[in-house]
Structures are given as structure tokens and as C-alpha cells.
Structure 1
Amino acid sequence: MAFHQSKPLRFGDCDLTGIAYHPAYLSMLVDVNEAMFASFGVTWKELMFERKIGLPSVTMNIEFKRPSTYGDVLDFAVHVRAIGRASLDLETIVTVRGEVIWTIKQRIVATSLDNHKSHPWPDDVREGLTRYLEPAA
């Protein structure tokens, strides 16, 4: 089951023509990923400041299908494709009114904020992520 969240495309997310400015998409994606973790009771604030675990993206493969414009509501569907010892492979499909706008395949790696090396997923985080696990066909 994918994690779903909708986000409006605001004026500040667009260029002067009213078309989405692509860096705004990545900011929205960070918000959606953070919300996915919160959905199973683990906040990024807790991970970073209490558990000292960072969540950097190490790869991103984005494909833009068509533009979106000011006022559109973007529907994000985040699919967990694989959970490794410290890695997390996500595929996010973003639609507007049912039409795919862009997709991204992303790998996040849990890291120790003390030494910046990979850090195994804590059991509660792994359990929470597993609820969204849908390996690619």
C-alpha cells in the first residue's frame, strides 16, 4: 500500500509563467517523505535530534512528464520498493487530476550524525516502513 498525500502548487512554487519551478517539487517531496515517517509515529525531528540519524538522499532519478501550473493539487503516491540494512528505495508517482506529472526513484540511506557512516534502520522505523513495502514488479 502506498503512502498518499496531496499538496497544492502555490504561487511561490512557480516561475513567472505560472508553471511549477522544479526545485519546488523536491521541497514538496521532502515534506511528503517526512509525513510518511510521521504516519507510523517516527518524526524526522526525533530521528535527527534524539537518535542522531540522518536521512540523506544518495540517488534520485526524476522523469518529468508534463508541467503543472499554479493552483494544481499534486497527489503524491510514495511506494517503498526495498528496505535494506540502512537503505530505503522509494518510487513516488505524482499526479494532477489522475494524470502523471512526474515520477522519481529515490534512495535514502540512514546515517549516523556522529560519523556520517551508514546506520541500520531501528526496528520501529523498519516496521513502519514495511507497511508501505510494495516491491517493483
Structure 2
Amino acid sequence: MGFETTRPLRFGDCDPSGIAYFPSYLNMLVGVLEDFFASLGFPWKTLIADRRIGVPTVRLDVTFSNPGFQGDELEFDIAVAGIGRSSLDLNHTISAYGKVLWTARQRVVATSLDTHQSLAWPADVRAALTHHLETTDAHDPAA
């Protein structure tokens, strides 16, 4: 069960030729991740200010397949690929008009904002993330 949302590709997200500027994509990805956590009931303001939990990216592998253009409506799909003690592996697929523009594999880690060390996902956050965990059988037509 993935998370889906859309974002417009705006004039300010593009280079002078009207093609998406890749750092804008990464900025959008951060916003989509923030929306994902909010949809689980854990807005970042609460995680950061009240619970003192950070969610930094420790690995990001991006593959660009097709250009995005100003005015495109980008469809972001997040799949939870794995949950570790403190890590969370996510697969992102970003498309427009049914065509994949780019994909990303991302690992974020729960950290204490007081010690800046990793910490185990709190039980309530882990339970919400686990609800979204994709299994390999779900993608295997033979299963």
C-alpha cells in the first residue's frame, strides 16, 4: 500500500529551456516525504519539535529516464521497501501523463535531534510504517 500525491512542475522548477532542473526534483521529494509522514499521523513539526526525532537521508540513488517540462503534473508514488531498527528504505516513482520521468531509492534514518545519533523507530511510528510495507509477493505475478 503506497502513498501517492501530485505536484505541479512550475516555472521556477525549470531551467531556461523549460525542462525540470534536477535540484528542484530533490526539493519536491523532501516535501513529498514530509507529506507521507503527515499522512501517517506524524507531521514533521510534531516529530521535530515535540518528539525531537529527525529523519535525514543517508542514501539516495536517482535515475532520470525522461525529461519533465514546465506545466507537467508530477505523480509521486512512494513504496516502503524495508524497515530496519532505525532505517527506512523507500522506492519513489515519479511520472507525468503515464510516463516515468525518474525513480529514486532512498534510505532515511530516525535520529535523536539531541544526540544526533540513530535511534529505533518509536513503536507507533514503526506500526504506521509497517502498514505501508510492500512485500515482494505483491509484485510477483507468479506468487
TM-score between both structures, scaled by the size of structure 2: 0.93
User: In percent, how many aligned pairs have the same letter?
Assistant: 52
Structure 2 match to 1:79: 79
Amino acid at match of 1:61: D
Within 2, Cα distance between the matches of 1:130 and 1:71? Answer: 35
Unaligned runs of 5+ in 1: none
Q: Secondary structure at the match of 2:134?
A: coil
CA offsets, 1:44-77, max 9 Å, x none? 1111111111110000000000110000011011
Within 2, Cα distance between the matches of 1:123 and 1:5? Answer: 26
Which stretches of structure 1, 4 residues or longer, exceed 4 Å deviation after superposition? none
Aligned length: 137
TM-score between both structures, scaled by the size of structure 1: 0.97
Unaligned runs of 5+ in 2: none
Structure 2 match to 1:29: 29
**Is the aligned partner of 1:11 residue 2:11?**
yes
Structure 2 match to 1:66: 66
Across the aligned residues of Structure 1 and Structure 2, the Cα RMSD in angstroms comes to: 1.0
Q: Secondary structure at the match of 2:117?
A: coil
Deviation of residue 131 (structure 1)? 2.1
Deviation of residue 124 (structure 1)? 1.3
Structure 2 match to 1:95: 95
Deviation of residue 127 (structure 1)? 1.3
Within 1, Cα distance between the matches of 2:102 and 2:135? Answer: 20
Q: Does the aligned pair in 2 maintain the 1:37–1:128 contact within 8 Å?
A: no
